Structure 1
Amino acid sequence: MSVTLDLEELDQTVYEEVLARPELGLAELAARLGVEPDRVRDCLDRLFALRLVQASFETPGRFTVVDPVLGMQRLLDQQYEELVRRHRRAAGHQQALVRILAGAGSGGSPAEGVERLAGLDAVQRRLERLALEARSEVLTFMPGGPQSPAALEAAERNDALVLGRGVAIRTIGLDLVREDPGTLRYSRALLAGGGAFRTVAALPTRMVLVDRTHALVPIDPADSRQGALSLSAPGMIAPLVALFEREWGAAVPLGADPSEAVYVPTEQERSLLGLLAEGHTDESAAGQLHISARTARRIMASLIERLGARSRFEAGLRAARLGWV
């Protein structure tokens, strides 16, 4: 979380301390946490910048936190906006490269390592050939949301050929495909065959990389019907591999268990998340729900694990993003 939200562990601790004890000032916070006042001041500055903490209107020199649910949503909005900006920059760089390569290959003597494939049929024939020739791995960007039945059928057929020979497949799609039955079925088949599938909020453009030696990218990312460029020059392949690996590291795995993608928290789980987001302790939340504090902690631990979070704060962010709170 500290990487994606620009928050350090101490920032989270300060936030939680202000939430639990709004009567404390800077010096008191520092003394309670056992750290230098300047470090607490730096944390508060970051929290102020993120609009998670603000000065108290009632007591000068004291602080108050923004409503946790609202604060979580603000963080998610900022994170998403930065993610979209980053993807747009990456897409712009990749599309500029594609335009340069397309121009280089459009004259009488094609650029070395660049081949133009005109039309969808030519692209599909090349994909089938690459599927037969692949020896180590196939890396794919799958943008555009839900895929057509014909495209999914062709992809599944090629995947079976590749996986059958022990070649690794890693595919990145968009988050919204988790809600599309056809694409979700395809991704489950890929996982069942030994492949890997992850999703992100946005992708630069469609791309297929084979054995880190060949790549297919669209001639025009806005109109895939024009065909693709087949790239093989190492200087062209290396940045595309780096782009894929960067996106793969930030993508969210699609679990092998179908229930993961469609899990709906129980009313008790939603109520517990809501109470904790309002600032209740385990004990007070448990009292509201008429369960023991031990049961409340067990439920929360299960939710943290299911959400893949490393802390309650991060679990709250992910729960808000999923609409559980």
Structure 2
Amino acid sequence: MTQATLRFLGVDPDVEEIYRLLLRRGGFSQVELARHLADDVQDEDVVQDSQAIYRRLTETGLATETSDGVLAPVSPAKAVEGLVESKVDCLRHQLEEAATSRRIVDRLLAEHGKSLDGGAQAPNSNSTTQHIEGMASVRAAIDELTFFTRAESLTTSPTGVLSEESIDHARLLDSRILRRNVHMRTLMAARALEDPTTMNYLRELVSKGAHIRISYEPLERLIICDRAAALTPIDPANTPKGAILTRDPGLVAALVSLFERMWQTGRDLPSSDDGEATTTGFANSFQQQILRSLYAAEKDETGARELGIAVRTYRKHVASIMRRLGASNRFQAALLARERGWI
């Protein structure tokens, strides 16, 4: 048997041997695998062994099964990268669970006593509500909250636009949450649709399991973790000033209710850059609002203002709708949309 080199990444020697064989041959079927393991393909134990190895090759990401049932090797670079990521994720989960069970953060906070800026209470003090002053202290509080989040994360972004710096910081926290299969819901202001950097990151989150909606109504800034703790700004007009952290059950419940009401007014993140639906049906509720505005608003500026978006974005949506309907003007688009039952 070939000397194993992938055991430290969790790959059994017999599985690695077959993977190496796959790399040399380019691929083979399960029957051919069984024949390689023994001359007598009818031997029940050999068939079971081949099935187990076949399954482990695909589960570990060393091979994929083609549409015609052929087992094909994954490229070594991609295979090893996947094994490393799997090992790191497993180790990270074990370490986080150990840190949580041993209350490491709580004990360190007890030693710390005060926030980074001084004068404010530590986020996990005995009080159910604390004022946290300064962005450094707020970020420290968010780091702590996300570390302990296990079931649900609810957030809003009233500005809708995320800078590269904020994305770099958020990616670490969001990835930590999504790795645990935490139910993440994020509500973004409509300005997100106008910023490619923000949209790219939002779609990255969606690909990892997050639920994102766009709101065309004013939003309150909220971060709620496990419906047990919530962060709101001390001054909504000056968020760098700091935040209020509350664990009071009544206050948290009220903030959750506020989030749910805002969430209901939101629309799903568009599936493409121009916001067009991917199905033949008219699934984008925001486009329905655009169509209604064509009846009521005399000017684009009026329609855009009513929907809380830029005139450029409004016109972009109008042009997209007209293309889908095959309309030559906006009035015809509104009539065709009504005929199809879209509005």
What TM-score results when the alignment is normalised by the length of structure 2?
0.47
- Larger RCO (CA under 8 A, 6+ residues apart): 1
Kindly name which structure, 1 or 2, has the bigger radius of gyration based on alpha carbons: 2
What TM-score results when the alignment is normalised by the length of structure 1?
0.50
